[in-house]
Amino acid sequence: MFKALLIGCGNIGALYDFDNTQILTHAKGYALHPAFELTVFDINKELETQVANRYKARTLKAPIQQVISHFDCVSICSPTDTHSSFLKEAMKAKIPVIICEKPISNKSEELESLEESYFQHHSKIIDSIAYHHQ
Protein backbone atom coordinates (compact mmCIF):
# COMPACT_ATOMS: atom_id res chain seq x y z
CA MET A 1 0.00 0.00 0.00
CA PHE A 2 1.27 3.47 -0.96
CA LYS A 3 0.73 6.36 1.42
CA ALA A 4 -0.47 9.50 -0.37
CA LEU A 5 -0.71 12.98 1.10
CA LEU A 6 -3.01 15.54 -0.50
CA ILE A 7 -2.09 19.11 0.41
CA GLY A 8 -5.04 21.36 -0.38
CA CYS A 9 -8.67 20.19 -0.40
CA GLY A 10 -10.11 22.89 -2.67
CA ASN A 11 -11.49 22.47 -6.18
CA ILE A 12 -8.51 20.74 -7.82
CA GLY A 13 -7.63 18.74 -4.73
CA ALA A 14 -11.10 17.41 -3.96
CA LEU A 15 -14.16 19.48 -4.83
CA TYR A 16 -14.57 19.43 -8.63
CA ASP A 17 -15.92 15.87 -8.49
CA PHE A 18 -17.14 15.78 -4.89
CA ASP A 19 -20.76 14.98 -5.69
CA ASN A 20 -20.64 13.27 -9.08
CA THR A 21 -19.31 10.08 -10.64
CA GLN A 22 -16.44 11.66 -12.54
CA ILE A 23 -12.83 11.38 -11.39
CA LEU A 24 -11.39 14.89 -11.77
CA THR A 25 -9.45 15.39 -8.55
CA HIS A 26 -6.48 13.98 -6.72
CA ALA A 27 -8.60 13.00 -3.70
CA LYS A 28 -11.05 10.87 -5.64
CA GLY A 29 -8.31 9.33 -7.76
CA TYR A 30 -6.35 8.22 -4.71
CA ALA A 31 -9.46 7.18 -2.77
CA LEU A 32 -10.77 4.92 -5.52
CA HIS A 33 -7.44 3.21 -6.17
CA PRO A 34 -6.94 0.20 -3.88
CA ALA A 35 -3.16 0.64 -3.74
CA PHE A 36 -3.37 4.02 -1.96
CA GLU A 37 -4.04 5.08 1.60
CA LEU A 38 -5.01 8.76 1.52
CA THR A 39 -4.26 11.46 4.06
CA VAL A 40 -5.53 15.00 3.48
CA PHE A 41 -4.34 18.37 4.75
CA ASP A 42 -5.89 21.81 4.41
CA ILE A 43 -5.56 24.95 6.50
CA ASN A 44 -9.36 25.09 6.47
CA LYS A 45 -9.99 22.32 9.02
CA GLU A 46 -13.72 22.19 8.32
CA LEU A 47 -13.05 21.50 4.63
CA GLU A 48 -10.28 19.04 5.53
CA THR A 49 -12.70 17.09 7.75
CA GLN A 50 -15.43 17.13 5.09
CA VAL A 51 -13.05 15.73 2.44
CA ALA A 52 -11.55 13.19 4.85
CA ASN A 53 -15.02 11.92 5.75
CA ARG A 54 -16.15 11.76 2.11
CA TYR A 55 -13.12 9.75 1.00
CA LYS A 56 -12.45 7.82 4.22
CA ALA A 57 -9.08 9.54 4.41
CA ARG A 58 -6.89 10.34 7.37
CA THR A 59 -5.89 13.79 8.53
CA LEU A 60 -2.53 14.86 9.91
CA LYS A 61 -2.13 14.65 13.68
CA ALA A 62 1.18 16.54 13.73
CA PRO A 63 2.68 19.48 11.83
CA ILE A 64 3.25 18.65 8.18
CA GLN A 65 7.02 19.15 8.47
CA GLN A 66 7.19 16.42 11.13
CA VAL A 67 5.27 13.75 9.18
CA ILE A 68 5.76 14.45 5.47
CA SER A 69 8.60 11.92 5.25
CA HIS A 70 6.11 9.10 6.02
CA PHE A 71 4.49 9.39 2.58
CA ASP A 72 5.30 7.74 -0.75
CA CYS A 73 3.70 10.47 -2.84
CA VAL A 74 2.46 14.00 -2.26
CA SER A 75 -0.02 15.99 -4.33
CA ILE A 76 0.30 19.74 -3.87
CA CYS A 77 -3.04 21.33 -4.72
CA SER A 78 -2.84 24.32 -2.41
CA PRO A 79 -2.80 27.99 -3.52
CA THR A 80 0.08 28.84 -5.86
CA ASP A 81 1.88 31.04 -3.33
CA THR A 82 2.30 27.98 -1.05
CA HIS A 83 3.63 25.56 -3.69
CA SER A 84 7.29 26.46 -3.29
CA SER A 85 7.45 25.83 0.45
CA PHE A 86 5.55 22.54 0.20
CA LEU A 87 7.73 21.40 -2.72
CA LYS A 88 10.89 22.16 -0.79
CA GLU A 89 9.60 20.27 2.26
CA ALA A 90 8.66 17.26 0.12
CA MET A 91 12.02 17.20 -1.67
CA LYS A 92 13.89 17.58 1.63
CA ALA A 93 11.86 14.64 2.96
CA LYS A 94 12.90 12.58 -0.11
CA ILE A 95 9.33 11.90 -1.24
CA PRO A 96 9.70 9.61 -4.29
CA VAL A 97 6.86 11.20 -6.33
CA ILE A 98 5.52 14.73 -5.99
CA ILE A 99 2.65 16.03 -8.10
CA CYS A 100 2.29 19.81 -8.11
CA GLU A 101 -0.55 21.69 -9.71
CA LYS A 102 0.32 24.53 -12.04
CA PRO A 103 1.65 27.08 -11.86
CA ILE A 104 4.43 25.88 -9.61
CA SER A 105 5.22 29.51 -8.78
CA ASN A 106 4.58 32.99 -10.11
CA LYS A 107 8.03 34.19 -9.00
CA SER A 108 11.14 33.55 -11.10
CA GLU A 109 13.44 33.52 -8.04
CA GLU A 110 11.33 30.75 -6.47
CA LEU A 111 11.49 28.74 -9.67
CA GLU A 112 15.27 29.08 -9.78
CA SER A 113 15.56 28.01 -6.14
CA LEU A 114 13.26 25.04 -6.74
CA GLU A 115 15.31 24.01 -9.76
CA GLU A 116 18.45 24.01 -7.63
CA SER A 117 16.70 21.96 -4.94
CA TYR A 118 15.40 19.54 -7.54
CA PHE A 119 18.91 18.70 -8.75
CA GLN A 120 20.10 18.20 -5.16
CA HIS A 121 17.34 15.71 -4.29
CA HIS A 122 15.98 12.49 -5.72
CA SER A 123 12.27 13.21 -5.94
CA LYS A 124 10.40 12.89 -9.23
CA ILE A 125 8.26 16.00 -9.66
CA ILE A 126 5.30 15.92 -11.99
CA ASP A 127 3.32 19.06 -12.69
CA SER A 128 -0.16 19.06 -14.11
CA ILE A 129 1.15 20.24 -17.50
CA ALA A 130 2.85 16.85 -17.93
CA TYR A 131 -0.54 15.15 -17.97
CA HIS A 132 -1.81 17.35 -20.80
CA HIS A 133 1.19 16.67 -23.04
CA GLN A 134 1.19 12.87 -22.88
pLDDT exceeds cutoff 70 at 119: no
pLDDT tens digits along 18-39:
999 999 999 999 999 999 999 9
Could you give the number of structural domains in the chain?
A: 1
Percent pLDDT > 90 in the chain is 66
In CATH, what number is assigned to the domain containing residue 83? 3.40.50.720
Per-residue pLDDT reduced to its tens digit, 97-113: 999 988 666 667 766 66
Domain that holds residue 29: 2-132
Cα separations in angstroms, 128 against 17, 62, 70, 100, 133: 17, 28, 23, 7, 9
- Nearest alpha-carbon partner for 89 in 20, 16, 27, 7: 7
Confidence tier at 44 by pLDDT (50, 70, 90): very high
